Each structure stands twice: as C-alpha cells, then as structure tokens.
Amino acid sequence: MQGELIIAGQTIISRFFLGTGKFKSKQELEETIKRSGTQVVTVALRRIDLEQNEDNILSYIPKNIILMTNTSGARNAKEAVRIARIARESGYGSWIKIEVINDSKYLLPDNRETIKAVEILAGEGFTVLPYMLPDLYAARELVKAGAAAVMPLGSLIGSNQGLKTKSLIEILIEEIKEVPIIVDAGIGRPSHAAQAMEMGADAVLVNTAVATASDPALMAQAFAKAVDAGRMAYLSKTGDISHVARASSPLSGFLNET
C-alpha cells in the first residue's frame, strides 16, 4: 500500500509498533514509547496478583497512544474471543491483536483458530489484527473474515532471528492488497526492520529486541529510523540485483586510451 498507513479509519504516521512486555521497569517503558515516536503499542490481560498491588501499566502509556490488546494466553478461538470482550469491557478494547497459540516451545500461531476468532470478533465490531504464520491461503481467509491487517511472523517470538519467513512474507505483500501487512515477531535488529520495510511491509511490531536491549529507548529510536529508512527505500524503488559488475564511472575518455 502506497501513501498513508490507515487502519480502521485512523491514519498512523509511525510504522514502528512496539510491544510492552519484558521491560525492566514501567518508567523505562514510558521513556521508550516517548523517544521512539511509536503510536501503537500492544498490552496483555492477566489475573491481578491478589497479594500485591501492582502499578497500573496504563498510567505509563500516553493517552494518545493506540492500545492494541493481545489475546496471549488464548489456546483457541473461544479463549481469544473471551479475552477480546474483556478488553472491550475495560474501555480500551477496540484494537485487538489475535494471538492463538497452543505450543509453548515454538509459540507458533494456530492459523485455523485465528481465522475463527477473526470471524467472530470482526462481526462484533472489533478492529482485529491477527498474528499469523505466513500462508497465502490463510491470509486470504483472514481478510475475508474481516481482519483490519494481517500480521505474519518474521521468525519465532523473542528469538531475534529476523526474517526467516522472508519469501513467504514477500508473497503476502505481492498478493494481499486489501489490508496492511505488519511483520510481527522475531525482528531482532533494526536492519531486520529496515529489510521488512524495503520489501514493502506496511509496518513492523517489535518487542523483545527493544525491551531486552541494554538501552531500550535508544534501541527503539534506532528501530524507528530503520523503519523510516526502509520505507523510503521501498518508495524510491530499490535497484535490481546483477550477477556481474556494472561500472559506476564512465566507460569512455580513459586517460590511458590510444
């Protein structure tokens, strides 16, 4: 998609989305959000700790930030739907990242259950952004079911492996034009984010690589710049790749010509 990034009628300027998990402190999270310029962050829902009164994470996230509640913990569509409805009841529920995972080793999303969850929740008026294993047929089903974007994984959550699914994501970018494609999971370095944007992704979502950096706010700024750089490169159309050299300086008027 050229031009602006628009999701559920909202124009998003920063194509760098941030996950809020794993930060060492809420203050660090707040600083990171501010310095990165991110406009969309993900949060999760959990049972409160009855013994301790935890600081409310929402008070560390500026009011103008779009909150996207993930359905982490959901092992099937029914559980994802329950979590989304709880998010809605809290008053922050319109954007939902559908995350349906029932393996703890690879944390791979269940595309089939994800499609079911999208059908139900899109039907209830939620803005749904499903996290998925890049598969063209599943992506088409997600769009048909009412997804506001499609979020294919780059590699395993938290692995920092980068774009292991690069060629599959390229297919989605080429074939899915109705909604934005947001690469989510496994992006470990700003260069991975730049690569995703150069390929034509509409945005990226990063959590671990920022939250576990020794200077998260600085790393988030790096990611934001990388996303901008990749986007600009995509818009100015990167050159083709040649298997032989193609001279950069003129091929005539050499000083040693006879």
Burial of 123 (0-12, 13-18, 19+ CB in 10 A): exposed
Q: Which of 195, 190, 191, 205 is nearest to 234 (CA)?
A: 195
Q: Is 208 in the site for another protein (CB under 8 A)?
A: yes
Cβ proximity to another protein, 70 vs 165, nearer residue: 70
Q: Of the ranges 31-39, 78-86, 118-126, 170-178, which one interacts with another protein (CB under 8 A)?
A: 78-86
**Considering 78, 97, 225, 237, which one is annotated as catalytic?**
97
Q: Closest separation between CB of residue 248 and another protein, Å? A: 43
Please say if 24 is a catalytic residue: no
Cβ proximity to another protein, 55 vs 178, nearer residue: 55
Q: Find the farthest-apart pair of alpha carbons in the chain and give their distance in angstroms, rounded.
A: 89
Alpha-helical segments (H) within 60-132: 77-90, 111-123
Q: Of the ranges 4-12, 139-147, 201-209, 237-245, which one interacts with another protein (CB under 8 A)?
A: 201-209
Rounded to the nearest angstrom, the gap between the alpha carbon of residue 137 and the centroid of all alpha carbons in its chain is 20
Out of 6, 34, 75, 86, name the contact with another protein by CB under 8 A: 86
Q: Is 38 in the site for another protein (CB under 8 A)?
A: no
Q: Of the ranges 51-59, 134-142, 175-183, 239-247, which one interacts with another protein (CB under 8 A)?
A: 51-59
Burial of 100 (0-12, 13-18, 19+ CB in 10 A): buried
Cβ proximity to another protein, 2 vs 53, nearer residue: 53
Q: Is 90 in the site for another protein (CB under 8 A)?
A: yes
Task: Write the DSSP assignment of 219-252 as a string of letters.
Answer: HHHHHHHHHHHHHHHHHT-PPP--SS---SS-SS
**Residue positions annotated with a catalytic role:** 97
